Amino acid sequence: MKIEITLPQIGESVTEAVVIKWLKNVGQDIEKYEPIIEIITDKVSMEIPSPHTGKLIEKTVSEGETVPMGNMIAVFDVIDVVENNQPTDITIPDQSIIGSISDVAAVGPTGGEFKDNSLIQEDLPKQTREDKDIDKVISSDLEKSRYSPVVLKLAEQHGIDITHVSGSGQNNRVTKKDVINHIDKVNVDEVGVKNTIPVTSDDHFITPNPFRKIIADRMVESS
């Protein structure tokens, strides 16, 4: 008995797929659930299994062709006892869905009730807060890992805020040399400030005229 094989619907939002490769040839015997064609959508790449046991007698789509979901892709000579021309729906579970499990199950010969409320939606805010706290701890540990004990000790001895030191090591890791360079820079800046002669209100600047400038230059050359 010849039947049409259609491209199954694999999700409400998926409307079409591209044929990547035919896995079976015309005239080849195929068992039920054996992959016959490989497709790719905008969400997933997968192999489509045969819904029947039989022989592939015609391919109605080519490799590289875009096919709407539900369209015919092949013709089979089916030897299954029960005819089933309905498209096979393949459901892909959504990993983002979190619900609650509250199915009643029989426990033991007397029966009983089992409920697992560990995934109840109301618990999500609390879990979110816990995740944020964990992220803070991890972030703090990662920040500390940038500094070795030697670097931390050296910065503490010289009163240096380690967060103000630029790291030159791998992944911006602060090295002992970075701390020493930072200390030297701070010391140079402090010396420069101390050696600066303050200008008081009684001081004033005189801009020399060209004649005075020539005399001054010659005095410098002769000294």
Whole domain around residue 43: which residue ranges?
2-78
- 156: in domain: yes
Residue 171 lies in a domain: yes
Residue 157 is assigned to a structural domain of this protein: yes
DSSP designation for 124: H
Q: What pLDDT shows up at residue 105?
A: 43
- 165 occurs within a structural domain: yes
Do both 12 and 72 map to the same domain? yes
Query: What is the spatial distance between Cα 220 and Cα 144, in angstroms, rounded to a whole number?
Result: 57
One domain for residues 68 and 129: no
CATH of the domain at 40: 2.40.50.100
Query: How many Cβ atoms sit within 10 Å of the Cβ of residue 148?
Result: 14
What does pLDDT average to in each consecutive run of 10 residues of the chain (223 residues)?
90 88 94 93 88 94 92 88 52 51 45 51 54 56 63 82 80 82 77 57 58 61 61
Other residues' Cβ atoms within 10 Å of the Cβ of residue 63? 12
What whole-number distance in Å separates Cα of residue 173 and Cα of residue 148?
Answer: 9
Does some domain include residue 168? yes
Query: How many distinct structural domains can be found in the chain?
Result: 2
53: in domain:
yes
- Name which of 74, 71, 69 is nearest 51 in CA terms: 74
Handedness of CA 93, 14, 96, 142 (dihedral sign): positive
Q: What CATH number is given to the structural domain containing 156?
A: 4.10.320.10
Centroid of chain to Cα 216: 70
pLDDT at 57: 94
Distances (CA, A) of 222 to 131, 209, 215, 216, 219: 78, 20, 11, 10, 5
Kindly report the number of other CB atoms within 10 A of residue 147's CB atom.
20
Sole residue written with tokens 């409320």: 117
The answer to whether residue 89 is domain-embedded is no
Q: Is residue 164 part of a domain?
A: yes
Total Cβ atoms within 10 A of residue 48:
22
DSSP one-letter code for 101: B
Q: In the listed set 48, 63, 78, which residue is the last one of a domain according to the structure? A: 78
Any bridge partners for residue 116, and if so which? 101
Give me 37's structure tokens: 């064609």
Mark whether 74 and 134 lie in a shared domain.
no
Identify the pLDDT of residue 208.
Answer: 57
- Inter-residue contact 83 to 1 (CB < 8 Å): yes
Query: What is the distance between the terminal CA atoms of the chain, rounded to a whole angstrom?
Result: 118
Distance CA 54, CA 80 (A): 7
